[in-house]
């Protein structure tokens, strides 16, 4: 049973991580709607993926990269803060889920989620021209929050563990 939980922990942590990113960025898009051009390109990208049209997918992705990079130069700070909050919040909640599911090595399991987040932040930062502060705060915050999540779960489980019989 322990091996099953050990294998399930990173998967569950990543699912919670993705859900959290989606929710926080969705709230950010509701508060700061993206330009119509970006929304249209995102819809076209989804359609191209659904139709498995590789040519259209590559073309739309390149248009989206240009549009997003241009938007990020003038985007409201609040919109960018929601993105950073999504990165950091998802590392915390994903790390919390992974650590709580794992039977052992809770802190490293939570940190694993933070490291995956850092790789995602680096990938997105290379794809779109973000202000420098966004990936820096996002990566540092993701590592710190995933460690905090793992520490909180480890501490909670230790404090609720039964005392060994004498």
- 87 neighbors 141 (Cβ within 8 angstroms): yes
Question: pLDDT at residue 166 above 80?
Answer: no
pLDDT of residue 164: 59
pLDDT digits (tens, 9 = 90+) for 73-83: 888 999 999 99
**Phi and psi (nearest 5°) for 51?**
-85, 0
Question: pLDDT at residue 129 above 90?
Answer: no
This prediction has a pTM of 0.84
Task: Kindly report the number of other CB atoms within 10 A of residue 59's CB atom.
Answer: 14
Domain assignments of the chain as residue spans, ordered by start: 2-32+75-157
pLDDT digits (tens, 9 = 90+) for 38-93: 888 888 888 888 888 888 888 888 888 888 888 888 889 999 999 999 999 999 99
């Amino acid at each position: 049973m322990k091996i099953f939980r050990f294998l399930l922990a990173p998967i569950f942590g990543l699912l919670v991580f993705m859900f959290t990113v989606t929710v926080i960025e969705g709230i950010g898009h509701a508060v700061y709607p993206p330009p119509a051009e970006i929304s249209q390109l995102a819809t076209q990208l989804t359609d191209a993926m659904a139709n498995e049209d590789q040519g259209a997918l590559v073309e739309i992705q390149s248009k989206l990269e240009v549009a997003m990079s241009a938007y990020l130069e003038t985007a409201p700070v609040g919109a960018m803060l929601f993105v950073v909050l999504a990165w950091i919040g998802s590392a915390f909640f994903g790390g919390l889920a992974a650590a709580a599911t794992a039977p052992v090595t809770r802190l490293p399991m939570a940190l694993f989620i933070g490291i995956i987040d850092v790789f995602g932040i680096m990938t997105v930062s290379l794809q779109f021209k973000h202000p420098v502060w966004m990936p820096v705060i996002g990566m540092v915050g993701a590592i710190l929050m995933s460690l905090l999540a793992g520490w909180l779960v480890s501490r909670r489980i230790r404090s609720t563990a039964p005392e060994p019989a004498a």
